[in-house]
Amino acid sequence: MFQKSISPDSGVLLVEGNESKINASIHMLLMKFDIAAIWINDDFQVVDSVLAKRWKLLYLPKSPARYILELHSTRLGDFRDGDQLRFEDA
């Protein structure tokens, strides 16, 4: 939240306890830069994505999600609703 920028090759994966629209919501208060927010369900399918603008109060996914992937804003075009993802240990 207090970073000044995010690298195009890094991001944050937030994990909720279960699928939900409310629990998977994000806010951009105090953010200094826009991000690509990607919501992913239990089946690792992209259910929504948005360019989250700094200082916007609330973003909710269109469908329930368990994972929220936050990336550099230029990465938004890398994901489309319905994409199937796979997470691997790095």
How far is residue 83 from each of residues 7, 38, 57, 69, 86, measured CA to CA in Å?
Answer: 23, 11, 27, 13, 10
- Nearest one of 31, 9, 13, 15 to 75, comparing CA atoms: 9
Domain residue spans of the chain: 11-76
Rounded to whole angstroms, how far apart are CA atoms 57 and 59? 7
- pLDDT (mean) for 49-66: 97
Averaged pLDDT for residues 67-83: 97
CA distance 15 to 57: 20
Token pair in block for residue 38: 């990607």
Query: What band does 3 get if pLDDT is binned at 50, 70 and 90?
Result: confident
Kindly state the average pLDDT of the residues 3-19: 91
Instruction: Indicate the pTM of the whole model.
Output: 0.92
